[in-house]
């Protein structure tokens, strides 16, 4: 069974540019998560989706970050415009439901110059 797929794996952009990350969860998983991981730290939740509904986005910086999960499967996380402090790894995870074990993708490492 395929795991959580993320692309791109690496992205380098200049500050003030837009950037988007894509996630394809494990088939049949209704819950999808986006996490931010800074160097040397554990992941921090940005947003959680139940199917296509964002049910917990309290930690998402809404002035520059946005996310969508059309049709309740794939998801995209966008930053516009990117700032130097956004350099980090962006992880996507999915689970059958919000009560179940989360499975993580490999992440996208973003470098903002």
Site residues for other proteins per CB under 8 A: 4, 40-45, 48, 56, 91, 93, 98-99, 101-107
**Residue placing its CB nearer to other proteins in the complex, 27 or 101:** 101
**Residue placing its CB nearer to other proteins in the complex, 28 or 42:** 42
Cα–Cα distance, 91 to 104 (Å, whole number): 7
- In the complex, the smallest distance separating the C-beta of residue 109 from other proteins, rounded to whole angstroms, is 8
- In the complex, the smallest distance separating the C-beta of residue 52 from other proteins, rounded to whole angstroms, is 18
- In the complex, the smallest distance separating the C-beta of residue 12 from other proteins, rounded to whole angstroms, is 16
CB atoms near residue 54 (< 10 Å): 16
Judge contact between 108 and 13, C-beta under 8 A. Answer: no
In DSSP notation, 57-86 reads: -TTS-TTTEEEE-GGGS-EEEEESS--GGG
């Amino acid at each position: 069974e395929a795991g959580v797929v993320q692309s791109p794996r690496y992205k380098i952009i200049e500050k003030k540019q837009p950037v988007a990350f894509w996630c394809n969860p494990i088939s049949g998983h209704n819950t999808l998560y986006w996490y931010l991981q800074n160097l040397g730290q554990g992941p921090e939740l940005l947003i959680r989706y139940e199917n296509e509904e964002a049910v917990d986005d309290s930690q998402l910086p809404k002035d520059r970050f946005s996310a969508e999960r059309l049709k309740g499967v794939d998801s995209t996380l966008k930053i516009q415009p990117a700032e130097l402090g956004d350099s980090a790894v962006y992880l996507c995870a999915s689970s059958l439901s919000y009560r179940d074990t989360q499975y993580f993708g490999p992440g996208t490492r973003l470098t903002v110059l």
